[in-house]
Amino acid sequence: MITLKRATTGLADGQAPLKVAWVKEGALLPQGEALDARLGGLLRRALAGVGLKAGESLLLHTEEGAVLLFGLLEDARESGGKLAQALLRLAFPEALVEPLEEAYPLAEGLLLGAYRFDRHKTEKEAKALTLHLPGVPEELLARAGKVAEGVYFARDLVNEPPNLLTPEALAERALELRALGVEVEVLDEKAIKELGMGAFLAVAQGSENPPRFLKLRYAQEGARARLDLVGKGLTFDSGGYSLKPTEGMATMKGDMAGAAAVLGAFKAAALLGLPVELRGYIAACENLISGRAYRVGDVLKTLSGKTVEVMNTDAEGRLTLADALAYAQREGAERILELSTLTGAAVVALGEEVAALFATDGAWGETVREAAQRAGEKVWPMPLERAYREKLKSPVADLKNVGDRNGGAITAALFLSEFVKVPLVHLDIAGPAFAKKAHALGPEGGTGFGVRTLLEVAQAL
């Protein structure tokens, strides 16, 4: 765990058991220079021979205490993340860190990089570390702390194993947000049936663990704009009768990462007191196999009234989302931002780090794209190509739930767009939601992707 504090003294005049100076292309930054002057050029001499690369560090013991020279990465946020990971490997309880011009991304990176998920380890890795940042405004550090809390919340939810994070347990975690002033309503199976969410219910019916539909609302007094968020909430996706192979199932506890991003954004928005009205909708269930699971060939009646022929039970996310989106619109959404780990095809197209952005409205799409860019989350626009709509034609129902092998992320997005008339942005986060290995901003597992973008969008409205 890392705590950030404002420091009133810099590297050259401050007291700390460990001081961190940045090295960029072999040279020290200003505060490091000042410290080096006091140390009679020791740092520069130490650097001269080694050719310190980005992300590498060099620990020196000087007459003024320990100094860590750290190679700056291109990105300030990632520099912070890598530095936090290096500091957690050392034994110091405190350090004075040279600030960067990009003070906010650095602070966010320090916090995100330090994330650990050790809830189920009998031996905790937990180590407390306090970092002092000279001259950085207190409010900036407080903001980074609140954003990181939202991201941590989302990561914890994604990392929680699926035997423990059932739809009911996810609802319980959402209800915790009430303490922050978020209104949370949980609909049970009976209420979901009465509403007529036939597609969502069909996906859920194979599991002994009943589904839950979550409704959230957060509104600061004098809220200027309204934003409706929808997140895919499959607490586990086995594929159903269109069963996934074991390797494909390995990360499917993370198939609720869209929901986790929505919940994380609500948490951070409430902590920050953002002056907006947020609504959130999550259809939470499991996609399993049993004597009562839905089949290939079933025809379902969605909340919108449209019927869908199931041609692949592993294309379940779009079925649950069809009903959640229709419900959001019914509740008066003016514009919707939806996040889902929807297709493997999005990962094939853009890889593990970039989310696919689809928009039914150009301006709304651009707003979200720009927000993601400011947030430092990678998204790339994809075409909602109408020509492919015919791939979703069904001989017996209004549409079927899969197209053919080609353009799978696009046909999935086209399917979703059938259920709403208001401007919709769909972010397919199947790639970046779950990291298969450790990275600059965190360990292997849930990344909390989307939380920062959602907050930036909310702030821009």
Positions in the binding site for ligand BES (CB under 6 A):
237, 255, 312, 314-317, 341-345, 347, 402, 408, 430
CB of 306 to Zn ion, least distance (A): 20
Near Zn ion by CB under 5 A: residue from 108, 156, 228, 237: 237
- The encoded tokens of residue 236 equal 């586990």
Q: Which is nearer to Zn ion, 87 or 284 (CB)?
A: 284
Q: Which is nearer to ligand BES, 376 or 431 (CB)?
A: 431
Q: Output the residue with the shortest Cβ distance to ligand BES.
A: 344
Q: Which of 303, 292, 431, 410 lies closest to 359 in space, CA to CA?
A: 410
Q: Which is nearer to ligand BES, 220 or 312 (CB)?
A: 312
Binding of residue 377 to Zn ion (CB under 5 A): no
Sign of CA dihedral 149, 211, 253, 426: negative
Q: Going by DSSP bridges, is the β-strand pair 424-428/129-134 parallel, antiparallel, or unpaired? A: unpaired
Binding of residue 418 to Zn ion (CB under 5 A): no
C-beta neighbour count of 396 within 10 angstroms: 9
CB of 162 to Zn ion, least distance (A): 12
Q: Which is nearer to ligand BES, 70 or 241 (CB)?
A: 241
> Out of 155, 318, 335, 400, which one is annotated catalytic?
318
145 binds, among Zn ion, ligand BES, none (CB under 5 to 8 A by kind): none
CB of 368 to ligand BES, least distance (A): 20
Q: Which is nearer to ligand BES, 259 or 347 (CB)?
A: 347
Do 230 and 284 meet the contact criterion of CB atoms below 8 Å apart?
A: no
Near Zn ion by CB under 5 A: residue from 314, 323, 377, 456: 314
Binding of residue 323 to Zn ion (CB under 5 A): no
Binding of residue 255 to Zn ion (CB under 5 A): yes
- What binding mask, one character per residue, do residues 91-120 give for Zn ion by CB under 5 A, x or -? ------------------------------
Do 197 and 327 meet the contact criterion of CB atoms below 8 Å apart?
A: yes
Q: Please indicate whether residue 318 is annotated as part of the active site.
A: yes
> Out of 244, 301, 369, 389, which one is annotated catalytic?
244
Query: Residue 142 class from Cβ within 10 Å (0-12 exposed, 13-18 middle, 19+ buried)?
Result: middle
- The encoded tokens of residue 426 equal 């769909």
343 binds, among Zn ion, ligand BES, none (CB under 5 to 8 A by kind): ligand BES
User: What are the angstrom distances between the C-alpha of 362 and each of 327, 373, 461?
Assistant: 23, 16, 16
Binding of residue 258 to Zn ion (CB under 5 A): no
Distance CA 85, CA 267 (A): 25
CB of 239 to ligand BES, least distance (A): 6
User: What are the b/e assignments for 26-48, b being 16+ CB within 10 Å?
Assistant: eebbebbebbbeebeebbbebbe
Query: Would you put residue 182 in left (φ > 0), alpha (ψ -120 to 50) or beta?
Result: beta
227 binds, among Zn ion, ligand BES, none (CB under 5 to 8 A by kind): none
Residue 287: beta bridge partners? 237
CB of 315 to Zn ion, least distance (A): 6
CB of 317 to Zn ion, least distance (A): 4
User: Judged by CB under 5 A, how many residues of this single chain contact Zn ion?
Assistant: 6
What residue type is 197 in one-letter code?
Answer: M
Residue 259: beta bridge partners? none
Q: Give the interface segment with Zn ion, choosing from 98-106, 261-269, 314-322, 365-373 (CB under 5 A).
A: 314-322
Binding of residue 309 to Zn ion (CB under 5 A): no
Element of type H or E holding 344: helix 344-350
Binding of residue 428 to Zn ion (CB under 5 A): no
Residue 5: beta bridge partners? 132
Q: Which is nearer to ligand BES, 52 or 349 (CB)?
A: 349
Sign of CA dihedral 339, 232, 119, 216: positive
Q: Give the interface segment with Zn ion, choosing from 49-57, 122-130, 315-323, 350-358 (CB under 5 A).
A: 315-323
Q: Which is nearer to ligand BES, 105 or 317 (CB)?
A: 317
Q: Which is nearer to ligand BES, 85 or 411 (CB)?
A: 411
CB of 243 to Zn ion, least distance (A): 10
Distance CA 334, CA 327 (A): 13
CB of 429 to Zn ion, least distance (A): 12
Distance CA 143, CA 400 (A): 45
Element of type H or E holding 284: strand 277-287
Q: Please indicate whether residue 212 is annotated as part of the active site.
A: no
290 Cβ contact partners less than 8 Å away, ≥ 6 residues apart:
206, 207, 208
Distance CA 51, CA 40 (A): 20
Where along the sequence are the contacts to Zn ion (CB under 5 A)? Answer: 234, 237, 255, 314, 316-317
Provide the annotated active-site residues. Answer: 244, 318
